[in-house]
Amino acid sequence: MSSNESGNYLFEGRGDREIVMAYSFDAPPGRVFEVWNDTSGMGNWYGPEGHELIVAEQDLRVGGAWRYGTRDESGEETILYGVYQEIEPGSRMVNTEIFAGLPDFETVVTSTFEAEGAGTRMTTVVLHPAPESRDGAMAWGMEDGVRQTFERFAAHLAASEG
């Protein structure tokens, strides 16, 4: 499966069911975790360019639900939702994820926030239930959206310092 790694960004298929995404941010792990999970600022960064955040709800606790959604310039909405399975503040989160347009399958998303010098390497592994769903997500253009979201988050993180 394809791999795209450049500088502080990684996007690749791993094995036959995983998508691995990583980005290096200029802030310590606790700060990255905190800002990543602050729904009040998500409108500044969540989703690719041209997407408006239309819903950002979360109950950040084990067993708590979350729901995020965007609308693109053409009016198409993308809604994702799930439940938190593990939370280690500042270092790790595991949650389920369901795309509302395809509710018949659920992925498991594991995000880690690891110190990298004075910054943080955030790595997210999305485990799909089958190779077909993983390959479909990758073919759908997920990589561009992920890269733009990470870049927008990095800018938001830098602007929110202080």
Torsions phi, psi for 123 (to 5 deg): -120, 130
Q: Does the pLDDT at position 5 exceed 70? A: no
Laid out side by side, the sheet with 119-127 consists of 3-6, 9-14, 18-25, 119-127, 107-116, 92-99, 77-88, 65-71, 52-58
Amino acid at 61: R
In this prediction the pTM is 0.92
Cα→Cα distances 37→56, 57, 118, 130, 141, Å: 10, 10, 20, 28, 24
Q: What is the mean pLDDT of residues 118-134?
A: 96
Exposure on the CB side of residue 94, measured as CA atoms within 13 A = 4
Q: Give the percent of the chain with pLDDT over 70.
A: 95
